[in-house]
Amino acid sequence: MEATRNVGELCEQHQMDIKQLAERAGLDEGRILAIVLGRWTPSPAERDRVAAAFGLTREQIAWGHKTPIQHIYGHGPG
């Protein structure tokens, strides 16, 4: 199965809010919120716990940051 859905989409599909997902996954609500917003890439163990809350494996979920990477130093090519 291809990883096509992220955690936020799965929450919508399963009609699950952040608090419910945190309880089912056994993780802190703040951590779950950061994962849903794409601000935190979970560890393999956290991925397993979140995936299990949906009855999936970690390979069936699209993980990763949503925030674009920005270069802080330098002035670019010149």
What pLDDT shows up at residue 4? 77
Q: Where are the alpha helices (DSSP H) in 1-56?
A: 7-13, 18-25, 29-36, 44-53
Surface-to-core class of residue 37, CB atoms within 10 Å of its CB (0-12 exposed, 13-18 middle, 19+ buried): middle
Domains and CATH numbers, the chain: 7-60 (1.10.260.40)
What pLDDT shows up at residue 78? 55
Residue 63, φ and ψ in degrees, nearest 5: -110, 160
User: What is the residue type of 34?
Assistant: A
**What are the 10-residue block averages of pLDDT along the chain, 78 residues in total?**
79 96 97 92 96 96 67 57
Give CA–CA dist 18/37, Å, rounded: 11
Residue 61 pairs in a beta bridge with 5
Q: What is the CA radius of gyration of the chain?
A: 15
